[in-house]
Structure 1
Amino acid sequence: MIRNIIFDFGDVFINLDKAIIFKEIEKFGGTSKLSPKLQKANNLFEVGRMTTADFIDTLKAVYPKASKQEIKTIWNAMLLDFPDYRLRFLEELAKEEKYSLFLLSNTNALHIAHVRKIMGTKKYERFKNCFKRFYLSHEINMRKPNTNIYEFVLAQNKLKAEETLFIDDTSENTEAASTLGIHCWNIQVGKEDIIQLKTKL
């Protein structure tokens, strides 16, 4: 029986356009994917081991034609809207008190600041208050798909893997969680929606 649900954030609740970064950065000499150097910087940024200023400086060194503000704007452009119907669904689920709800997101300080801005403080707090615990990778210094992040959430909250469902749009993340015995739903963006959750329970 599922008693706990761990949710990803991007493309589960808030819509993303992951490709737009590369489309926009091409204007400044970028390519269709991150170089190994920038991928490493992004991973460090997501686990809080690089400051926003240092991350922007790293990108600026690779794309000198772009201003620091243009880089920030491009990096945040992937964050789209958070449909109200999804928040209402989550709030109703939380009110039922049938499941313990958790958020587990790979993110960074730059993106979270922008999410707060586009959602507005009131809506962001409504969202956050639905969860028993709210885990952001840059705050807990771990990121998916490394299994230690799932072990951390299970241990800190005394959860049993077999009673836990993890929902994420990235198959690499759900595959890693499943090795620990966690039930997983690799949600298919554009074909499935989080409001279909109860059909998976």
Structure 2
Amino acid sequence: MSSILTQPNLKNIIFDLGDVIIPIDLSAPLRNFAMLANMPEDDVRAIWNQHNIGMQYETGLIDDEAFRAHVRQLLNNRSNNPNTETADHWADEVIDTAWNTVLLELPVERVERIRQLKDRYRLFLLSNTSPIHIRQVNHILTELGQPTLEELFERVFYSYEVRLAKPSPEIYQHVLSEAGIAADETAFLDDNAANIRAAAELGITAVHVQPPLTIIDYLKDV
């Protein structure tokens, strides 16, 4: 595997966030909501998918308060177990904490590698994400003595702000247009195959980041 930095016309690098910069466990939030509600995880997943709560939140159709309200309403299992608090009484912090269990330990060396590239390339972030997650990632970065995402990158593009989500071609076109960059001078690193295909179809050099490799392997100096 060769470094993408070998490309002579490379001027811009766009990074995904989850499983590219910070490892994630996509099943963790629903697992934790199920435990809190004393419900089978499969039932919670079915409810979640039926109502498409996550995508509504990540595309800005609902805000923080509406997201939490939906969680309380949909997971309000009135269990016969007297030790189970019904979801309609969950505090904001309870919901936020469960939602943030998707975020695993952040390898600081990945952030440091991105920082090393700032003087040589224009760097951007493009993520399907939610405000609760972004606040938590920035909190983690600050605790590690690192810059926030908004400080680390020239521009950040969050799905909930642009009201679009990968792999829609429109979100990539939005980034290229807003940043004023050319597709053939740009690389994009993402862990999702569908996202990679969509970017590649627009002429972006799309790199599928797959374990055990990390962005450090794809961004080696040559």
Tell me which interval the TM-score lies in, with the shorter structure as reference length.
Answer: 0.7 to 0.9
User: Could you say which residue in structure 2 is the equivalent of 1:168?
Assistant: 190
Task: State the number of aligned residues.
Answer: 197
Identity %: 30
User: Could you say which residue in structure 2 is the equivalent of 1:47?
Assistant: 59
Q: For the Cα contact (< 8 Å) 2:149–2:156, is it kept in 1?
A: no
| 1:9-158 correspondence to structure 2 within 5 Å | 9-27=17-35, 28=37, 29-32=39-42, 33=45, 35-39=48-52, 41-64=53-76, 65-66=86-87, 67-68=90-91, 69-95=93-119, 97=120, 99-120=121-142, 123=145, 125=147, 127-158=149-180
Counterpart residue identity of residue 59, structure 1: V
**Counterpart Cα distance in 1 of 2:149 and 2:63:** 26
Counterpart residue identity of residue 28, structure 2: I
Q: TM-score scaled by structure 1?
A: 0.87
Q: For the Cα contact (< 8 Å) 1:5–1:100, is it kept in 2?
A: yes
Compute the displacement of 1:122 (Å). 7.7
Unaligned runs of 5+ in 1: none
Compute the displacement of 1:70 (Å). 3.0
Q: 1:16 to 1:130 in 2, by over 3 A?
A: same
Counterpart residue identity of residue 119, structure 1: L
TM-align CA RMSD: 2.3
Look at both structures and tell me which one has the larger radius of gyration over its CA atoms.
2
Q: TM-score scaled by structure 2?
A: 0.79
Residue by residue over 1:139-190, the C-alpha shift from the partner in whole angstroms, topping out at 9 and shown as x without a partner, is: 22221111111001111223221221111111111111111111111111x3
Unaligned runs of 5+ in 2: 1-8, 77-85
